[in-house]
Amino acid sequence: MSEVLALERVTRQYPGGVTALDDVSLVVTRGELLGIVGPSGSGKSTLLNIMGTLDLPSRGIVRIGGEDVTRLSDRRLSDLRGARLGFVFQQFHLTEGSTAVENVATGLLYAGVARRRRRRLAEQALERVGLGHRLRHLPHQLSGGEKQRVAIARAVVNEPDVILADEPTGALDTATGDSVLDLLTELHADGATIAVITHDTDVAARLPRRVTVRDGRIVSDRSAENEERSAGGTRCG
């Protein structure tokens, strides 16, 4: 499988001697669905920011599509983010006063897609997540689960190399959260590469690969396939 995103010995330190990530290495390959799980303060949010180029490491290398992003200018980083990455956040981040299709089309604006194509692609993305009947609804007219589906449509509309989903079920009730996970699983089955960042071990347990972060380090990296082969779930990673 080809590498989509990779971190090599990444450390992120903040003023005051705080080390949020400590010598972390991680490879995400095309077509994977993985969970990055850890409690509050474990470093997983910093890891998400590094993976999404929203922050840069103090040391180490971050590659997206084979390119070392730590050497790029802010402008090139922004262009790469718009073209190669999709983001889903816990709080949806939809623009009030804009319809579902307008919110999704905004993601294409940052990716440099011509205006005449944005609406058609946004409509197709909303149909893909089961919201073809809600194209013209405003955020306040949508349920929490529907808002998250709009956010997911915005993340997938440009067919990014990888989707980073930050606590995508955190603001939802259990049943709605399960339906969102079902949708992410369906998108993965269609070929999407998805990393889900979560504190919820039950959410992570539903994913084929689980990377556990604690105190700024990766303490385990397990796949469901390896666990099935290993009696008693021997630790790896």
Element of type H or E holding 142: none
Question: What integer pLDDT is reported at residue 33 of this predicted model?
Answer: 96
- Percent of the chain at pLDDT > 90 equals 79
One-letter amino acid for residue 22 of the chain: D
| Cβ 94 vs Cβ 151: under 8 Å | yes
Cα separation of 112 and 121, whole Å? 13
Question: What integer pLDDT is reported at residue 67 of this predicted model?
Answer: 92
Which has more pLDDT, 205 or 234? 205
Cα separation of 150 and 125, whole Å? 9
- Percent of the chain at pLDDT > 70 equals 94
Could you report the per-residue pLDDT of 187-222, keeping only the tens digit for each? 999 999 999 999 999 999 999 999 999 999 999 998
- Does residue 36 carry a pLDDT above 60? yes
Q: Could you say which architecture CATH assigns to the domain 3-229?
A: 3-Layer(aba) Sandwich (3.40)
- Does residue 115 carry a pLDDT above 60? yes
Could you report the per-residue pLDDT of 120-166, keeping only the tens digit for each? 999 999 999 999 999 999 999 999 999 999 999 999 998 999 999 99
- Does residue 231 carry a pLDDT above 70? no
Neighbours of 139 (CB within 10 A): 17
Distances in Å between the alpha carbon of 148 and those of 9, 19, 42, 44, 130?
Answer: 33, 32, 25, 21, 12
Could you report the per-residue pLDDT of 52-104, keeping only the tens digit for each? 999 999 999 999 999 999 999 999 998 899 889 999 998 899 999 999 999 99
